[in-house]
């Protein structure tokens, strides 16, 4: 989380400093209307800048993934950029349109305007002819973006509808680029803020076009075929094994992929619950019925069905040199640990983890499926992982105190958590309060892609 916070605030600070460098006269502005001109420019730059970077991150680029700690963290930054763009756009609208309404209602009195000097630069003159159109289009597009971003943030809005409506933001973004190019102060274009904005909008425009063409992640997609389906009714879960042809690069345990089985629903991210064997070329997903789409998967999927797989993504890959690791898998959050245990069993003859590393796996669940638990116990035995199984109705809620009691050497361990975000945040705070350097040693998947 620290990395994405630094990335967000660092980005906004950079834009702010570059804008201040280009227009230092704001420091001497006095009165509402002189200040309004600067505020409209500044908030517009923040809004389109945040939206541009968010558009580029929506392409799921590989280069920032490792730096930000995984695609899940990158999507969290994408979400925060969207919220930032929304807030900045609302303030921009209040300064621009709200002022006009206030003048019309008699709340404000606009000072008399002097004669405007003629525009000598032909490019600036050409842009000025589009001012009325850019203002009108920008205002109505702002209303559309306000609705679309609000829907994206509302959790009860169905994913299949979110998947379709969210793409419309790409078209809205292109209109806002036009709005910005026409209305941004022309003198900015010859300063660093103008150069940075040009690069951001060029990258955002490319991303918007790719999004509208439905080509996001296309170079990382392969078409596979379902070869087996195994239900675990006790925990409302379904294990799907997919055979992948040449083109899949393999994956590390703990990574995830997007799977598309229904074009009307869109691709959903699922943690891969298997290690990679190039000879067999199969990957496994374990999905739990948590909503409309996942509830219907047992009826919608069948052996032999083709599915499109995109990935792999994520940095939840157990890479550290700690002598101990503590794994916490809550509910369906057990899947990355299953993949890791299968990998460790397969690589027992040639370990690719630190010699002598000891691992404790805590799995807490409210649902019970005996067949699934036996598989989990067998995987732990083969991987030489110490399994701690907690059934909520029998053993109560898992907490930091119980973990520390079972692992007295917890201070030398790294913690790897996958499960509900609130539970993870509570454990992180608990271990931080007991002195664990959580920024370095508490690893958590932020598995919320909206």
In the chain, CATH 1.20.120.1770 covers 2-112+120-212
What is the per-residue pLDDT for 296? 83
What is the per-residue pLDDT for 70? 87
Provide mean pLDDT across the span 215-237.
Answer: 91
Does the pTM surpass 0.75? The reply is: yes
Q: Which CATH class is domain 324-444?
A: alpha beta
pLDDT at 50 over 90: yes
pLDDT tens by residue, 15-35: 999 999 999 999 888 888 889
Q: Decide if domain 219-313 falls under CATH 3.40.50.720.
A: no
- Mean pLDDT across the chain: 91
What is the per-residue pLDDT for 368? 83
CATH no., domain 2-112+120-212: 1.20.120.1770
Query: 3-class secondary structure for the chain?
Result: CHHHHHHHHHHHHHHHHHHHHHCHHHHHCCCHHHHHHHHHHHHHHHHHHHHHHHHHHCCCCCCCHHHHCCHHHHHHHHHHHHHHHHHHHHHHHHHHHHHHHHHHCCCCCCCCCCCCCCCCCHHHHHHHCCHHHHHHHHHHHHHHHHHHHHHHHCCCCCHHHHHHHHCHHHHHHHHHHHHHHHHCCHHHHHCHHHHHHHHHHHHHHHHHHHHHCCCCCHHHEEEEEEEEEEEEHHHCEEEEEEECCCCCCCCCCCCEEEEECCCCCCCEEEEECCCCCCCCCEEEEEEECCCHHHHHHHHHCCCCCEEEEEEEECCCCCCCCCCEEEEEEEHHHHHHHHHHHHHHHHCCCCCCCCCCCEEEEEEEECCCCHHHHHHHHHHHHHHCCEEEEEEHHHHCCCCHHHHHHHCCCHHHEEEEEECCHHHHHHHHHHHHHCCCCHHHHEEECCCCCC
In the chain, CATH 3.40.50.80 covers 324-444
Q: Which of 61-75, 270-284, 321-335 has the lowest mean pLDDT?
A: 61-75
What is the per-residue pLDDT for 155? 75
In the chain, CATH 2.40.30.10 covers 219-313
């Amino acid at each position: 989380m620290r990395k994405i916070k630094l990335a967000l605030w660092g980005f906004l600070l950079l834009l702010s400093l570059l804008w201040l460098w280009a227009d230092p006269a704001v420091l001497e502005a006095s009165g509402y209307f002189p200040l309004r001109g600067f505020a409209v420019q500044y908030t517009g730059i923040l809004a389109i800048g945040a939206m541009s970077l968010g558009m580029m991150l929506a392409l799921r680029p590989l280069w920032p993934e490792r730096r930000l700690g995984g695609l899940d963290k990158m999507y969290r930054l994408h979400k925060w950029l969207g919220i930032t763009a929304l807030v900045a756009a609302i303030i921009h609208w209040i300064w621009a349109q709200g002022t006009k309404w206030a003048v019309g209602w008699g709340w404000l009195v606009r000072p008399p305007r002097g004669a405007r000097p003629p525009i000598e630069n032909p490019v600036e003159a050409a842009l000025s002819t589009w001012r009325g159109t850019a203002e009108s289009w920008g205002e109505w597009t702002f209303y559309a973006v306000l609705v679309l971003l609000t829907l994206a943030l509302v959790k009860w809005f169905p994913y299949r509808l979110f998947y379709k409506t969210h793409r419309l933001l790409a078209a809205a973004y292109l209109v806002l680029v036009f709005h910005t190019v026409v209305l941004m102060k022309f003198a900015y274009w010859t300063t660093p803020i103008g150069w940075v904005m040009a690069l951001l909008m060029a990258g955002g425009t490319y991303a918007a076009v790719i999004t509208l063409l439905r080509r996001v992640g296309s170079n990382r997609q392969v078409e596979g075929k379902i070869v087996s389906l195994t239900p675990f009714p006790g925990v409302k879960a379904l294990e799907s094994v997919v055979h992948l042809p040449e083109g899949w690069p393999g994956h590390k345990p703990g990574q995830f992929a997007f799977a598309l089985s229904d074009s009307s629903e869109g691709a959903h991210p699922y943690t891969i619950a298997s290690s990679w064997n190039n000879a067999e070329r199969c990957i496994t997903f374990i999905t739990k019925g948590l909503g409309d789409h996942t509830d219907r998967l047992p009826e919608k999927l069948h052996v032999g069905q083709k599915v499109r797989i995109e990935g792999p993504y994520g940095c939840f890959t157990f890479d550290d040199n700690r002598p101990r690791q503590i794994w916490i898998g809550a509910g369906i959050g057990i899947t990355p640990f299953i993949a890791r245990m299968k990998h460790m069993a397969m690589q027992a003859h040639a370990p690719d983890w630190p010699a002598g590393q000891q691992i404790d796996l805590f799995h807490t669940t409210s649902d019970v499926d005996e067949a699934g638990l036996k598989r989990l116990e067998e995987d732990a035995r083969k991987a030489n992982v110490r399994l701690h199984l907690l059934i909520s109705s029998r053993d109560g809620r898992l907490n930091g105190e119980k973990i520390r009691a079972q692992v007295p050497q917890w201070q030398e361990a790294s913690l790897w958590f996958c499960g509900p975000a609130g539970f993870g945040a509570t454990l992180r705070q608990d271990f931080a309060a007991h002195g664990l350097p959580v920024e370095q040693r508490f690893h958590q998947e932020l598995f919320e892609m909206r």
